[in-house]
Amino acid sequence: MKKRAFILAGILFSLVVMSACNSNSNTAANENEVTVIQAEYPVYDTAEEIVNASDLVFSGTVTEINYESLNVKSETGADPETGLAEASEIPYTIFDISIEQVYKGNVESNSISIKRPGGKMDGQVFVVEDASAIEVGETYLFITQTYENTYPSLLNVTQASFDMNNPEVVNNGQENEGITLSEVLEYLNRSATNR
């Protein structure tokens, strides 16, 4: 596993500056602005690595997409998802999903909401660089990590959601490198057989 090194602190600075600017300017002018967020997250080399790093893997259809500003904090050091040590409001996209099949972990309902950094906040759109597309009405395999008192999170923005209709597409944006849905499903099937 490698780490893709980006700086999430830049988003915090941008949010503070924009909040100050918004109080003195016309917010309608900001509604069409898009800010690209750069974040640090693990990048996985194999299907085995990414599945083993998760605690919940499932397929489902996205039923709704919403946006929330969440207070990111950690009581014991840096937040595992963002690397931030202090509480900060971060825009997140919340995906509501109707679950079709659970491959790893447990879910008590037939629906779930998961989060990914980026979204809309104060009329501005924040997009995480190289994030995979996730759209309402489409079916994906999601590889997530659960946390106490918040939504489960995608393991990263490029490799943790796979379009169920495109099993050979690589999601990390690198040609001829990365992990495909077929590889993940093959590993999950082997793991289930060996239990």
Q: How many whole angstroms separate alpha carbon 5 and alpha carbon 143?
A: 21
Q: Is the torsion defined by CA of 179, 183, 189, 192 positive or negative? A: negative
Outline where the chain has alpha helix (H): 9-24, 47-53, 181-193
What is the per-residue pLDDT for 171? 63
pLDDT above 90 as % of the chain: 47
pLDDT in tens, 112-135: 999 999 998 888 899 988 889 999
In contact, 124 and 19? CB cutoff 8 Å: no
**pLDDT tier for residue 75 given thresholds of 50, 70 and 90:** low
Spell out the domain ranges in the chain: 45-118+130-193
In the prediction, which pLDDT does 86 show? 55
CA–CA dist 82, 86 (Å, integer)? 10
Fold adopted by 45-118+130-193: OB fold (Dihydrolipoamide Acetyltransferase, E2P) (2.40.50)
User: Do residues 90 and 117 touch, judged by C-beta distance below 8 A?
Assistant: yes
Q: How far is 82 from 77, CA to CA, in rounded Å?
A: 11
For residue 107 the two structure tokens come to 């879910």
Whether the CB-CB separation of 114 and 19 falls below 8 Å is answered with: no
Q: What is the pTM of this model?
A: 0.77
Instruction: Considering only the C-alpha atoms of the chain, give the largest distance between any 2 of them, rounded to a whole number of Å.
Output: 61
Task: Report the pLDDT value the prediction gives residue 184, as an integer from 0 to 100.
Answer: 95
Mean pLDDT computed over 103-115:
95
Helices (H) and strands (E) in the chain, counts: 3, 11
pLDDT at 83 over 60: no
Kindly state the average pLDDT of the residues 79-100: 76
- Distance separating alpha carbons of residues 64 and 100, to the nearest angstrom: 16
Both structure tokens of 135: 């759209």
Instruction: Kindly report, residue by residue over 18-60, the tens digit of the pLDDT.
Output: 443 444 444 444 556 888 887 778 889 999 999 999 999 999 9
